[in-house]
Amino acid sequence: MRLGRRRTTSAEQADGAVPEPLGTGERALDSARLQLGWVQSREVRSADRLQDAEFRVFSQFGEDGIIQFLTQRVPIECDIFVEFGVQDYRESNTRFLLEKDNWRGLIIDAGDAHQAFLESSELGWRHWIDAVTAFIDRDNINELISAAGISGDIGLLSIDIDGNDYWVLEAIEAVSPRLLVVEYNSLFGPEAAITIPYDPRFDRTAAHASGLYFGASLAALTRLAGERGYALVGSNRAGGNAFFVRRDVIGQIPELPVAEGYVPSRFRQSRDQSGRLTRVSSHTDQLELIRDLPVVEVVNGTQLSVAEALGL
């Protein structure tokens, strides 16, 4: 989910809510942003560190710059991306790759706003991108990817589904991306390797009104990615997305330990029972809201509470 936004409910998705078509003003703004992004992407070539490369065109934070930094340093033989959890795709980790570098793509979301946006923006015919509506779980993800004619060695996979991110990543076999972007829950800290228990119908807003209970820790994702042949190379400055590179193509990009790659988030996205932002600031106070909810230690499969796992 794009941080700070409320995910569309299942009922709203069923009603077919779609984004407003692009007006002249939005088209002009997007064009200007794209042109500026071209300039910024050239400057990334001289960046020494991943975080120094951050810039935003269509991503929520600095992911566009980080991805340019990585694609300029990692040999990409198959310029295909897969991204899920895109909402209407106005804001995403791969749209700049699509528009600037003309990659082929597959985007998946539980709603259909992304499909409507591709039509209204004309991206759907200007570029080779497929949009699929599906509620992703670990049992259907490989079929969803394969059905789009995508398999094997691809350029990038981006995962942001506000819940079963760890379990879905664990299940993916259809593709072997060279670059991997995964959202982590910064509240879980840099040490505990934990994730929410698997629930194929997990809904972040239904699981807890605060919206703070979701996903996995960076330690859990790094452990899983490591088992799959990936190295952690950093996180964005906002503390929401982690970036991994497949070790066989990592080149001179340094691998980071979790303690060094972890970035504590500063965004304040907690909500009350009515869905209004409460902007609880400190991680300690945010964790108090979800302290009794269950998590799984991925090393041994033990289920315990957030408070027990983090020593609260």
Residue 69 predicted with pLDDT over 60: yes
Q: Per the domain annotation, does 3 fall within a domain?
A: no
Q: Per the domain annotation, does 5 fall within a domain?
A: no
Q: Per the domain annotation, does 220 fall within a domain?
A: yes
Report pLDDT for 41: 87
pTM: 0.91
| Dist CA 40 CA 68 (whole Å) | 9
Report pLDDT for 239: 95
| Dist CA 309 CA 192 (whole Å) | 7
Report pLDDT for 20: 57
Q: Per the domain annotation, does 120 fall within a domain?
A: yes
Token pair recorded at residue 156: 């990038």
Residue 157 is part of which domain span? 10-310
Residues 61, 234: contact at Cβ < 8 Å? no
Report pLDDT for 3: 53
Residues 110, 133: contact at Cβ < 8 Å? yes
Tens of pLDDT, residue by residue over 194-211, are 999 999 999 999 999 999
In the chain, how many domains are there? 1
The two beta strands, 175-183 and 194-195, are unpaired
Q: How far apart, in Å, are the Cα atoms of 144 and each of 113, 131, 275? A: 18, 11, 32
Q: Per the domain annotation, does 139 fall within a domain?
A: yes
| Dist CA 116 CA 140 (whole Å) | 23
Token pair recorded at residue 140: 């259907």
Least confident of 41-55, 75-89, 161-175: 41-55
Tens of pLDDT, residue by residue over 126-172, are 999 999 999 999 999 999 999 999 999 999 999 999 999 999 999 99
Q: Per the domain annotation, does 209 fall within a domain?
A: yes
Q: Is 116 exposed, middle or buried (0-12, 13-18, 19+ CB in 10 A)?
A: buried
Report pLDDT for 34: 84
Q: Per the domain annotation, does 4 fall within a domain?
A: no
Q: Per the domain annotation, does 1 fall within a domain?
A: no
Q: How far apart, in Å, are the Cα atoms of 172 and each of 98, 142, 212, 229? A: 23, 6, 25, 13
Q: What percent of the chain has pLDDT over 90?
A: 85
CATH number for the domain spanning 152: value is 3.40.50.150
| Dist CA 90 CA 113 (whole Å) | 10
Residues 157, 81: contact at Cβ < 8 Å? yes
